[in-house]
Amino acid sequence: MKKPELLSRRSFLSAAAVAPLAAAGRNLWAAGRAIPIGLELYSVRHELQKNLMGTVTGVAKMGYQCVEFFAPYYDWTPGHAKQVRKQLDSLSVRCYSTHNGPVSFSAAGIGKAIQLNQILGSRFVVLAYPGNINTLDGWKGIADMLNNANTELARHGMHAGYHNHDAEWKPIDGQAPMEVLATNTDKSIMLQLDVGTCVAAGSNPVAWINSHPGRIRSLHLKDWSPKQGYRVLFGQGVAPWKKIFAAAETWGGVEYYLIEQEGSNDPEMKTAELCLKAYRKLHA
């Protein structure tokens, strides 16, 4: 992993500007509420395909407080979404965000995304994969798409979000696409940080959080190691979790965490349980 970059003067001033907001967030959680820990349900995707309600119930019994549904949810009918919401409510589990493809941000598709996310109680409609974008102008186009969708989502009490993979950290003409997105999108748009892909690409997640205060409202707690890649369990890779948590809760504006595991040597549900136990030890 690269050495941590020093914050620029501009970044420092930006951080100082949102310090009252960050402090307010800390005070909110300090008033008896811990930051919710959830599961990105892609972690248990095969179990979810076999039995959605049973899998969500099993995840809740482990102690997860929220879940994030990934792109296939968009094919649900409103009636099915209501059944899922009823199950979530019975388990006292929240759905703060969903993962989406570009269709959810299009003029033709955003209406359905809004309807389903309203039913689920989501606050963020997150773009998880924009397609194969290989130019800076292409990434600026994605930023425009997010801004346009965010305007419509805000009318319904929601905001857009963007979830990074490793490609967003690889420079094009000397500039990282992730920085293009951050610079060219409205500050109300969440930059959902996938820690594992950030680390795997050689970027510094702590420096990124510190230089984009208030925008890292959720993080995917996925680890990475040179030998095992993303199959390494949470807490057993090279991500500096203590520093990441400190940055997220001081400057990032984190509202909830989501564990994500792409696979491991254990079954999916067992893996989710092991990761939650590891999180509780690391974040104690």
pLDDT of residue 166: 96
Question: Can you read off the two tokens belonging to residue 177?
Answer: 């696409």
- The reported pLDDT for the residue numbered 100 is 98
Please report the pLDDT score of residue 27 as a whole number.
Answer: 37
End-to-end CA distance of the chain: 26
Which residues on adjacent β-strands are paired with residue 163?
192
Q: Where are the domains of the chain?
A: 35-282
Q: How far apart are CA 129 and CA 202, in angstroms?
A: 20
Residue 28 three-state SS: helix
Average pLDDT over residues 25-42: 68
Which CATH code fits 35-282? 3.20.20.150
Q: Considering Cα of 195, then 177, then 7, then 200, what sign does the dihedral take?
A: positive
The alpha carbon torsion through 161, 245, 174, 147 (nearest 10 deg) reads 20
Instruction: Tell me the pLDDT tens digit for each residue of 157-207.
Output: 999 999 999 999 999 999 999 999 999 999 999 999 999 999 999 999 999
**pLDDT score at 248:** 98
What are phi and psi for residue 218, nearest 5 degrees? Answer: -150, 155
Which residue pairs, CB below 8 angstroms and at least 24 apart, start in 8-17?
8/211, 11/210, 11/211, 14/211, 14/213, 15/210, 15/211, 15/213, 15/251, 17/213
Q: What are the pLDDT digits (tens) for 97-144? A: 999 999 999 999 999 999 999 999 999 999 999 999 999 999 999 999
Q: Which of 246, 209, 212 lies closest to 35 in space, CA to CA?
A: 246
Q: What is the pLDDT of residue 4?
A: 30
For residue 9, what pLDDT is reported? 31
- pLDDT, mean of residues 5-31: 38
199-256 pLDDT, tens per residue?
999 999 999 999 999 999 999 999 999 999 999 999 999 999 999 999 999 999 999 9
Q: Which two tokens stand for residue 180?
A: 């293009």
Tell which residue, 181, 138, 183, 137, has the closest CA to residue 8. 183
pLDDT grade for 33, boundaries at 50, 70 and 90: low
**According to the model, what pLDDT value does residue 2 have?**
36
Give CA–CA dist 260/90, Å, rounded: 24
| More confident: 255 or 12 | 255
The DSSP code for 106 is: S
Question: Among candidates 56, 5, 40, 18, which has minimal Cα distance to 206?
Answer: 5
Confidence of residue 284 (pLDDT cuts 50, 70, 90): confident
| pLDDT value for 20 | 43
